Chains A and B, each alone.
Chain A
Amino acid sequence: KNEVEQSPQNLTAQEGEFITINCSYSVGISALHWLQQHPGGGIVSLFMLSSGKKKHGRLIATINIQEKHSSLHITASHPRDSAVYICAVGVNTDKLIFGTGTRLQVFP
């Protein structure tokens, strides 16, 4: 079993829909990151969370440390949100473990 599991693996949505991507982990962590990878491969950091909730524009990330679970929400989704979303957890002081990603396609 992977230490970081994401669901769903693939997600399609119509423009305007509310999107939720989930990340569960089985190790103790110092922080959790949500990353976005566009076609072409570059990765952008969206959020770093160690507790609670963060919001940036239409993106909201939450984390429940007790349940070892995080969610990334996208409100009013748009085709430009189409990308692979990756959850990564920081363990110890120098290691990151990555999920396999959720591929999101938003259609107009």
Chain B
Amino acid sequence: DGGITQSPKYLFRKEGQNVTLSCEQNLNHDAMYWYRQDPGQGLRLIYYSQIVNDFQKGDIAEGYSVSREKKESFPLTVTSAQKNPTAFYLCASTIWGVNGANVLTFGAGSRLTVL
């Protein structure tokens, strides 16, 4: 079955450590996204990529980095520069059509806790 796989589901990190969250899709979607979700807030865009080897900063990119070396993969690194990294992270992908995002698909999410 096609879909998005995020790993790990739960991750604990000590302050000062970088961690990388994996996102893999087998939907052949061009566009991939990383969102952060905090209690009481809407999803906020961290980074997005519309094609391989290209990505753009979202609204809250500081302290995060990404790469898009393959169409299927869009890993997110939470660096030690991110001041408040404890959150729920969601990866998504889509195909953009005439009427905007079509077939919006999300992964199951990764919950990061900084100890």
Residue ranges of A at the interface with B (Cβ–Cβ < 8 Å): 2, 4, 29-31, 33, 35, 40-45, 48, 50, 86, 88, 90, 93-101
Contacts and interface: CB of A to CB of B under 8 A. Distances in A.
> What 5 A-B pairs come out closest when comparing CB atoms?
A90-B100, A30-B100, A31-B100, A98-B42, A43-B106
B91 to A, nearest CB: 10
B108 A41 contact: yes
Identify whether the interface residues of A are mostly helix, strand, loop, or mixed: strand
B48 interface: yes
B103 interface: yes
Given A41-B90, A45-B104, A48-B101, A94 B50 contact: yes
Nearest to A87: B42
Given A41-B109, A94-B31, A33 B40 contact: no
B12 interface: no
B88 A41 contact: yes
Interface of B: 31, 33, 35, 37, 40-45, 48, 50, 56, 88, 90, 92, 96, 99-109, 111
A67 to B, nearest CB: 19
Contacts of A50: 99-100
Given A94-B50, A100-B40, A100-B42, A45 B100 contact: no
Contact of A100 (B41, B50, B96): B41
A42 B43 contact: no
Nearest to A4: B42
Contacts of A97: 42
B105 A41 contact: no
Contacts of A98: 35, 42-44
Given A2-B42, A4-B42, A90 B106 contact: no
A62 B97 CA distance: 20
Nearest to B39: A100
B99 A31 contact: yes
B100 A42 contact: no
A57 to B, nearest CB: 19
